Chain A
């Protein structure tokens, strides 16, 4: 027999399974700290690569001005500025990425928990109907 509540529940679960479930189940298989740390590390690597690309473009833009009257002091100053900018960028991105991935883990965990709860509710509905 058709049960409206069960059909509603199954539709909601099917929609979740189709959209967010694969990613959420994958994320919830990690501990929050592990997931955030791993992704922050990956972000740090990407940011390093991105910074190198930006620095390369900036150097390519201003190669004449940089090479003009280049001294050791000026070179050290440029390297120090570049390093400082890199550290600031890296720290900013790592902090933001850490909080971003923690919040993503929390949301995914909540959705997955709700999905499992709905699954058990559905099981109970079937048991009730069979009895």
Chain B
């Protein structure tokens, strides 16, 4: 456990240092998922469904606010629907407009949450959404979760019955308009999933905000179980096409995601919980204090044994004269030559400057004459 906490601290440090790049990378990955899923499922317009378009849109949206990605995804869906059939594009545009009017007009910055729900549905883990939103956000996230579910089922329905909506004559247009509206709004499976996600999210939020021990774990488990139960009830009562296996797997994934989120955002030590009671003039207070688990990541310090002082001491920019550098290099080289003299080859004849040697001999003689050292030299020779 302590190792995991140290990893968490290190992850936090890495995120703090490279948050700009990490956010852009995550935005790019989300863009790839969203545009890739749209193009692979309803790529009716060939030009817009190419891999180049997917990657290009993802790159562009990675450098722009997330609202732009929502607008681009909406436009891409409408373009594909328009390529298939005019009525489908019209009804879809109206549904998107209704979503904007009733929710996104108030909180446009949270509009990107609606993108996560279809991605979770496509990855077969829809119950992760209510658990994640319930743990980290507010009950208002019911709306983006519900709108995301409607968008996913709308796209899924068009993918399944695209051939039935092809046709250009006026009669087929009107019939298509009515049929698509009816099918997309009276889809029982869609409403069962909307109910499952909404109720589950509210339960997760309600349990998570209680002061009971292990509230986050209980919230994750209860949210996942509620979603599975509502899905199962819908399957039995309304005979919708929901399988128990994928629902159970989705529930397990939701609990796993809940545990990960708890570890990342709410790591507390319940064994050291303290309960206090005190009062003032107006109230009695019953306080429960749960300490956070705090582990400081070990910092690696590298000690340089043979570190040069010139490099560490000189922090300021200094103008360097090349002549001084040469002189310093020569001075540094000379003691090395003294320590380790280069061996001379034996056979090589020593070069002697005869003129200089003669001058030195003459100078020595004149000095000995002047100083009267000749007699002394003779005596020493004897």
A→B interface (CB under 8 Å): 43, 46-47, 49-50, 53-54, 56-58, 60-61, 63, 97, 100
**Residue contact A53 to B178, C-beta cutoff 8 Å:** no
* A61 touching B186, Cβ below 8 Å: yes
Choose, from B6-14, B99-107, B329-337, the stretch at the interface. B99-107
A49: contacting residue among B91, B95, B101, B186, CB under 8 A: B101
A/B interface sample: 18 pairs, CB < 8 A: A47-B101, A49-B101, A50-B98, A50-B101, A50-B102, A53-B97, A53-B98, A54-B98, A57-B95, A57-B181, A57-B185, A60-B178, A60-B181, A60-B182, A61-B182, A63-B178, A97-B106, A100-B106
Chain B nearest CB from A75 CB (Å) reads 20
Inter-subunit contact A56/B186 (CB<8 Å): no
B contact face: mostly helix, strand, loop, or mixed: helix
Q: Does the CB pair A61–B98 fall under 8 Å?
A: no
**Chain A residues, CB < 8 A from B105:** 43, 46
Quick one: CB contact mask for B173-204 with A, threshold 8 Å, 1 for yes?
Answer: 00001100110011000000000000000000
CA distance A43 to B98 in the complex (A): 13
Interface size on B, residues (CB 8 A): 15
Which of chain A's residues has its CB closest to B174's CB?
A: A60
| Distance, CA A100 to CA B106, complexed state (A) | 9
Name B residues whose Cβ lies closer than 8 Å to a Cβ of A.
91, 94-95, 97-98, 101-102, 105-106, 177-178, 181-182, 185-186
**Closest CB pairs A-B (n = 9):** A50-B101, A60-B181, A61-B182, A46-B101, A61-B181, A53-B94, A61-B185, A50-B98, A53-B98
Q: Which B residues touch A53, using CB under 8 A?
A: 94, 97-98, 101
Query: With the chains together, A97 CA to B98 CA distance in Å?
Result: 17
Instruction: Report chain A residues within 8 Å CB of B178.
Output: 60-61, 63
A53 to chain B, nearest CB (A): 5
Q: Report the bound CA distance from A63 to B102 in whole Å.
A: 25
Cα distance, A60 to B94, chains bound together (Å) = 12
Min CB distance, A52 to chain B, in Å? 10
Which residues of A have CB within 8 Å of B182?
60-61
